[in-house]
């Protein structure tokens, strides 16, 4: 695969799945714009990518701040002259708590980041994609979007909303050359899974760390979705998708 000529913005790029995607996309030739609240982390990651011969730009941005994302678009166009894709990866899992004990402000913050933050990014970048009649949006989804889990009401609700947002993008851009995906990465060995295990709530917290998938596999799948070859897969799918795994070269489940 080659992503040469593509310029892809990744939110939540400072660690975990976002970082893995940044490294994989850059290795395949894409210019990557890395955003997260942690400015030092995204700038360091961009520096490491450039040291390997890649093209990268690190920008501090909070997805709940619409104007900050407008600035990301402006800096992307200034730095690379175009933008071809957006990966909405920024997300949090907390509060992990039962409904009758969850902190209301923390619950609302999860919706603000996971759902409204994704909307903000889409709202900023979609007009650019519409104007150029070409673009890519990958929303990092979850099985929690379709199956409730104890203690995860905020996360499940936010991801369910994101799934419908993905479908809305597909509906409203069906006459444009814009590809939209809701991609579920499965259970991945990230800091978020560490929080889940520590909570001891619901069946996901009981999965041994050695049974979690590597973020690098997710990144390879996401990189494939960034290619035109994945156009027939638009919509909701996840890392277990047999055809996708075969195309990417991941071991069959």
- Among all residues, which ones are annotated catalytic? 155
| Alpha carbon distance 166, 183 (integer Å) | 10
Q: Are 90 and 137 in contact (CB under 8 A)?
A: no
| Alpha carbon distance 117, 110 (integer Å) | 10
| Alpha carbon distance 106, 94 (integer Å) | 7
User: Which has the closest alpha carbon to 157: 169, 142, 172, 168?
Assistant: 142
Q: Are 87 and 222 in contact (CB under 8 A)?
A: yes
Q: Are 210 and 178 in contact (CB under 8 A)?
A: no
């Amino acid at each position: 695969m080659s992503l040469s000529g593509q310029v892809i913005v990744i939110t939540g790029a400072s660690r975990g799945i976002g970082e893995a995607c940044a490294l994989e996309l850059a290795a395949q030739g894409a210019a990557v714009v890395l955003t997260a609240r942690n400015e030092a982390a995204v700038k360091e990651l961009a520096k490491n990518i450039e040291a390997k011969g890649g093209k990268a730009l690190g920008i501090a941005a909070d997805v709940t701040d619409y104007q900050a994302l407008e600035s990301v678009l402006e800096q992307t166009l200034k730095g690379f002259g175009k933008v071809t894709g957006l990966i909405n990866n920024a997300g949090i899992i907390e509060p992990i708590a039962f409904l009758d004990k969850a902190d209301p402000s923390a619950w609302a913050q999860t919706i603000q980041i996971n759902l409204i933050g994704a909307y903000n990014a889409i709202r900023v970048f979609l007009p650019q994609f519409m104007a150029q009649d070409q673009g890519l949006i990958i929303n990092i989804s979850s099985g929690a979007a379709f199956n409730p889990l104890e203690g995860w009401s905020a996360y499940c609700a936010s991801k369910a909303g994101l799934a419908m947002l993905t479908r809305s993008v597909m509906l409203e851009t069906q006459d444009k050359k814009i590809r939209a995906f809701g991609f579920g990465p499965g259970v991945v060995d990230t800091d978020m899974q560490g929080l889940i295990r520590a909570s001891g709530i619901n069946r996901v917290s009981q999965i041994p760390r050695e049974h979690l998938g590597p973020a690098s596999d997710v990144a390879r799948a996401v990189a494939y979705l960034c290619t035109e070859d994945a156009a027939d897969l638009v919509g909701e799918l996840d890392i277990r998708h047999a055809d996708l795994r075969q195309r990417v070269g991941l071991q069959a489940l």
